[in-house]
Amino acid sequence: MTDGDSEALASRRRLSLVLGTMVFSLLASAISALFRLGPWAAWASALLLGTALVGYAVVSRDAFFRRLLVFGAVVGLGELVSDHFAVVTTGTLVYPPVGPFLVASPAYMPLAWMGMMAQLGSLADVATRRWGLARATLGLMVLGGINIPFYETMARRAGFWHYRSTPMIFGATPWYVILGEVLLSAALPLAVSGVSRRGVWGAVLLGVAQAAWTYASSVLAFALVGR
C-alpha cells in the first residue's frame, strides 16, 4: 500500500468516526432535551465522546487525528476565557451550579470543545482537500451558523445552560452566539490545514491562535448584536 493509499484509508476511517460521533452528539442532545436530563447528562455525553475520540487516536496510526485532538484540547482550555466573558463580563450565560467548575465553566467544557474541534476539524480537512480553502471556509461558516441554534435550544431544554438579557432567536440562542460561531468557524479550515502539515507543537500553537480568535469572535459578536 502506497503512502497515498494509506492516507486515503485513514481519511475514510476518520470521517466515518467523526460522522458517527456527530450523530451520537445530536441524539444525546435531543434525548437530554426530551427528558430534561439536566447537567449530568452533559457530563456523560462529553465523557463518552471524549473517550471514543481519544480511544481511536490511541489505537489508530492516524497521526493527523492525534494532532487534531491536541489542537482541540488547547482550544478547549482557551475557550474557558470566552466562557468567562459570557458568564461574568456580559452576564448572559448561566450554568446550573452542578459539579466541579473550571474558571466560570463546568469542568467538562474543555473536553466537549476538544470533541467539537476534532469533529469540525476533520470535516474542514476533507472539505479543504476536495473544494479548496475558500469554499471550505464558506461551508464551515454556514454549518456553524445553522448548527448552533439546534444545539443551544436542546441545551436550554435539557437544563445544561441558558442565556438571558440579550437578543435571541427561538428564545434560546443569542444572535451574538450565532455570529460568534460563524466567525470562529471561518478560521478553522486554515488552522486545520496547518495542523495537517506541522508537528505536535505546531498543533499547540495553532490551538492557541484558534482559542484567541474564538475569544475575539465572542467579544466582536457581542459588541455588534449582543446588546
pLDDT tens per residue, range 179-189: 999 999 999 99
pTM of the model: 0.95
pLDDT tens per residue, range 31-73: 999 999 999 999 999 999 999 999 999 999 899 999 999 999 9
The model's confidence at residue 8, banded by pLDDT at 50, 70 and 90, is confident
Grid coordinates representing 97 are 451550579
Q: What is the CA radius of gyration of the chain?
A: 17
- Mean pLDDT in the chain? 95
Contact 122, 65 (CB under 8 A): yes
Domain layout of the chain by residue ranges: 3-225
Cα–Cα distance between 113 and 135 in angstroms, integer?
24
